[in-house]
């Protein structure tokens, strides 16, 4: 007798997750209630009952304040509200794939679309899905869909959204979809059949097609096990549908001895039942690939040790951890703090249920039946190799600054902590290093001590190399008149120093403003971005003179563009001199009103008729473009006004 066991036989990760949660929570809470059967397997329900998991078919059967586990098949949305109203602690073991369907139908129904569900009407999963939407219709076969179409129950213009029970037969689903697409012009299809179901059914087809006898193990209430039986029955002459080893008749065991046997099991069938069937068939049975069947099944009961590197499947992401299926009897969790050292890390952007994840075992609790994992330790193991290579090859490493301490800052790169001394942060002594926190920085690795797990880096070294390369490029191409965008680095009493991309240049105070200023801080501040141009070069001594004020902003040019001799302007008296008064025509351009031009009569001093800050009308009587001087006359403006009055 040769025996070939389907690799997909037994618990899927959604069912294993529910069972693990039931065991774990029952141990923590000294017994819990399950609302509905956790899974469709009577034997497993009995085993869990012995561990303190009591099954309640109605919410009224659950005491107020009890801890309640929601079954893997899911429940209607209203059940959560009802349980919370009783003060119950709700522990949700709904399969992640089923929960996804709940979200889909809730959103689609809210958008005014009619929900069509393809599945078994009375199946708990379908009942649960219906409880998350309004106005749903359930079809079990393509024939039912066709009948509804023929009867006009599906109007062509009705917006319809279609989902499937996760364990439904794909061929029947595809036939139904074809009919719906022809009937409904506004139809959205959501393929929600579980991949594990597809794989299980596909493997059953292959196995049944080459076996003399197929043995299908699972509870008679299990929908997915029934599908496996139907598939096997259509391809294999003899199919045995059993719930446990006791249902395998003695006569059949003797007849099977000369045949090729195929074995598959439903997603709700625990490994210990499959193992019992195997042991009763033969003590010497070998799987086709040469592995001992009992040994393979024993894998699901294997224990792990601290430090073991494992690969598992993400089954749920919660506010506190990531739950992982490792294919063992223990429930495995990665606390959020063990995912990454990066404070900006968002697990929901990196993983989703069904994804594979690598981790290291950090704690095994046999008493609670849990395994604590760490992903960041795997990253650290890989990261050390990357960090060491970066040091050897002098390549730049990018990391995120996560801490500040007295000596400097700490970055995380490839899961490894890198200390960057204050002197190597690139931050001036008078500025806080805290400005680097949560930012990404590039640095070189300057020191590694694997034994002490110490890594030292330098941001400053990267900056210096970058500045040196930029400076060389600038000195090769810089010319008088060339414009740059720079950053003000420091201020002195005589000017401002500006970094123009690796090289510093100076703007003399006289080049900062067309007006009079006492200090550069009146115009610019440290850190300001400024547009400058080169007005002088000394390549031998590496000195650059920069200009900041623009010709188009020159007050004299503005004055010349708007005023001419004989024009009358409103001017403001600025100061007095023995020979007259200075007045501002526009900001930056002053004119002299000679004492003889202040009044139409003789005065000894300007302040006899004028005051500082006073605004008066004055005529421009002369413009000296070479010396940039303007002569004004209040008397001429007054006489001009009188002449105008006489003409009127």
Is 512 in the same domain as 561?
A: no
Displacement of CA 539 from its chain's centroid (Å): 49
Report yes or no on 471 lying in a domain. Answer: no
Which range, 176-180, 347-351, 515-519, is most confident?
Answer: 176-180
d(CA 497, CA 8): 71
Note whether 547 and 486 are within 8 A (CB): no
Instruction: Report residue 49: phi and psi, to 5°.
Output: -60, -40
d(CA 577, CA 594): 9
Query: Domain end: 553, 584, 605, which one?
Result: 553
Note whether 524 and 530 are within 8 A (CB): yes
Q: How many domains does the chain have?
A: 7
Name the nearest CA neighbour of 470 among 489, 484, 457, 455.
484
Residue 284 designated active-site: no
Name the nearest CA neighbour of 201 among 125, 141, 264.
264
The single residue of 125, 140, 276, 338 carrying the catalytic annotation is 125
- Output the domain CATH number for residue 253: 3.40.1010.20
Report yes or no on 260 lying in a domain. Answer: yes
Q: Give pLDDT, residue 257.
A: 56
**By CB neighbour count within 10 A (0-12 exposed, 13-18 middle, 19+ buried), where does 43 fall?**
middle
Q: Give pLDDT, residue 128.
A: 94
d(CA 580, CA 598): 8
Q: Give pLDDT, residue 635.
A: 92
Look up the pTM and report it. Answer: 0.46
Note whether 24 and 370 are within 8 A (CB): yes
d(CA 223, CA 168): 8
d(CA 525, CA 528): 6
Note whether 616 and 610 are within 8 A (CB): yes
Give the pLDDT band of residue 285 (cuts 50, 70, 90): very low
Is 350 in the same domain as 437?
A: no
Q: Give pLDDT, residue 255.
A: 59
Report yes or no on 468 lying in a domain. Answer: no
**Per-residue pLDDT tens over the stretch 47-61:** 888 888 999 989 999
Report yes or no on 472 lying in a domain. Answer: no
Query: Poorest-confidence range of 383-387, 533-537, 609-613?
Result: 383-387
d(CA 327, CA 269): 14
Q: Is 241 in a helix, a strand, or coil? A: strand
**Per-residue pLDDT tens over the stretch 553-564:** 788 888 998 999
Give the pLDDT band of residue 82 (cuts 50, 70, 90): very high
β-pairing, 504-508 with 495-499? antiparallel
Instruction: Report residue 418: phi and psi, to 5°.
Output: -120, 120
Is 119 in the same domain as 183?
A: yes
Is 127 in the same domain as 45?
A: no
* pLDDT (average), residues 113-135: 92
Give the pLDDT band of residue 641 (cuts 50, 70, 90): low
Q: Give pLDDT, residue 283.
A: 46
* pLDDT (average), residues 503-530: 88
Report yes or no on 125 lying in a domain. Answer: yes
Report yes or no on 158 lying in a domain. Answer: yes
What are the angstrom distances between the C-alpha of 524 and each of 238, 495, 509, 531?
Answer: 91, 10, 11, 12
Is 34 in the same domain as 70?
A: yes
Reported as type and span, the H/E element at residue 105 is helix 96-110
Report yes or no on 257 lying in a domain. Answer: yes
Is 219 in the same domain as 128?
A: no
Question: Which domain covers residue 517, as residue numbers?
Answer: 478-553
Is 225 in the same domain as 288?
A: yes
Note whether 572 and 588 are within 8 A (CB): no
* pLDDT above 80 (res 278): no
Mean pLDDT of the residues in the chain: 85
Is 218 in the same domain as 287?
A: yes
Is 271 in the same domain as 326?
A: no
Q: Give pLDDT, residue 301.
A: 45
Is 418 in the same domain as 367?
A: no
Query: Domain end: 96, 117, 142, which one?
Result: 96
- Output the domain CATH number for residue 322: 2.40.50.140
Is 240 in the same domain as 173?
A: no
Q: Which residue stretches of 247-405 are H helix?
A: 250-255, 271-281, 293-298, 347-350, 376-393
Report yes or no on 263 lying in a domain. Answer: yes
- Output the domain CATH number for residue 29: 3.40.50.11270
Query: Domain end: 463, 496, 525, which one?
Result: 463
Name the nearest CA neighbour of 224 among 195, 190, 265.
265
Is 529 in the same domain as 548?
A: yes
The CB density around residue 395, as the number of other CB atoms within 10 Å, is 11
Name the nearest CA neighbour of 325 among 357, 347, 302.
357
**Per-residue pLDDT tens over the stretch 404-431:** 988 999 998 888 899 999 999 999 888 8
């Amino acid at each position: 007798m040769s025996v070939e066991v389907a690799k997909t036989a037994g618990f899927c990760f959604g069912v294993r997750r529910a069972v693990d949660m039931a065991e774990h929570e029952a141990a923590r809470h000294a017994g819990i209630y399950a609302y509905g059967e956790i899974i469709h397997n009577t034997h497993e329900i009995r085993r869990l009952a012995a561990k303190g998991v009591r099954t309640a078919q109605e919410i009224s059967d659950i005491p107020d304040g009890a801890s309640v586990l929601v079954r893997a098949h899911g429940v209607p949305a209203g059940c959560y509200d009802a349980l919370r109203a009783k003060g119950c602690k709700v522990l949700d073991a709904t399969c992640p794939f089923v929960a996804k369907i709940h979200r889909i139908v809730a959103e689609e129904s809210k958008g005014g679309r009619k929900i069509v569900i393809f599945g078994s009407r009375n199946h708990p999963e379908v009942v649960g899905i219906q409880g998350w939407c309004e106005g749903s219709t359930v079809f079990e076969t393509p024939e039912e869909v066709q009948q509804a179409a023929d009867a006009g129950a599906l109007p062509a213009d009705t917006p319809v959204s279609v989902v499937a029970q996760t364990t439904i037969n794909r061929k029947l689903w595809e036939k139904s979809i074809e009919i719906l697409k022809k009937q409904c012009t506004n139809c959205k299809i959501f393929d929600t059949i579980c991949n594990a179901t597809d794989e299980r059914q596909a493997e059953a087809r292959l196995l049944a097609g080459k076996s003399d006898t197929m043995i299908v193990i699972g509870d008679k209430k299990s929908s997915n096990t029934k599908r496996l039986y139907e598939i096997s029955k259509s391809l294999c002459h003899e199919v045995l549908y059993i719930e446990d080893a006791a249902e395998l008749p003695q006569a059949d065991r003797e007849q099977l001895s000369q045949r090729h046997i195929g074995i598959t099991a439903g997603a709700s069938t625990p490994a210990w039942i499959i193992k019992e069937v195997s042991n009763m068939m033969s003590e010497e049975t070998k799987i086709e690939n040469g592995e001992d069947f009992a040994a393979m099944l024993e894998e699901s009961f294997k224990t792990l040790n601290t430090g073991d590197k494992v690969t598992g499947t993400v089954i749920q992401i919660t506010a506190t951890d990531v739950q992982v299926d490792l294919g063992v009897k223990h429930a495995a969790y990665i606390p959020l703090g063990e995912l990454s050292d990066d404070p900006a890390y968002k697990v929901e952007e990196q993983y989703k249920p069904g994804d594979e994840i690598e981790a290291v075992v950090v704690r095994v609790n046999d008493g609670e039946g849990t395994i604590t994992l760490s992903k960041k330790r795997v990253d650290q193991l890989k990261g050390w190799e990357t960090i060491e290579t970066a040091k050897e090859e002098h390549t730049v490493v990018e990391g995120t600054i996560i801490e500040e301490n007295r000596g400097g800052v700490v970055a995380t790169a490839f899961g490894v902590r890198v200390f960057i001394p204050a002197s190597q942060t690139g931050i001036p002594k008078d500025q806080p290093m805290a400005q680097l926190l949560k930012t990404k920085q590039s640095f070189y690795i300057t020191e590694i001590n694997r034994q002490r797990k110490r890594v030292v880096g330098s941001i400053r070294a990267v900056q210096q190399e970058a500045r040196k390369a930029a400076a060389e490029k600038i000195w090769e191409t810089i010319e008088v008149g060339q414009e740059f965008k720079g950053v003000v680095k420091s201020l002195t009493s005589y000017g401002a120093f500006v970094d123009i991309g690796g090289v510093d240049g100076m703007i003399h105070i006289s080049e900062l403003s067309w007006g009079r200023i006492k200090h550069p801080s009146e115009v610019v501040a440290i850190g300001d971005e400024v547009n400058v141009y080169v007005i002088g070069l000394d390549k031998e001594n590496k000195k650059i003179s920069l200009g900041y004020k623009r010709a188009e902003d020159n007050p004299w040019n503005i004055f010349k563009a708007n005023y001419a001799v004989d024009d009358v302007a409103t001017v403001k008296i600025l100061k007095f001199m023995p020979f007259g008064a200075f007045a501002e025509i526009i900001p930056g351009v002053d004119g002299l009103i000679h004492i003889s031009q202040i009044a139409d009569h003789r005065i000894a001093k300007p302040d006899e008729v004028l005051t500082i800050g006073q605004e008066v009308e004055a005529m421009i009587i002369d413009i000296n473009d070479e010396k940039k001087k303007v002569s004004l006359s209040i008397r001429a403006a007054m006489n001009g006004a009188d002449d105008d009055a006489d003409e009127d």
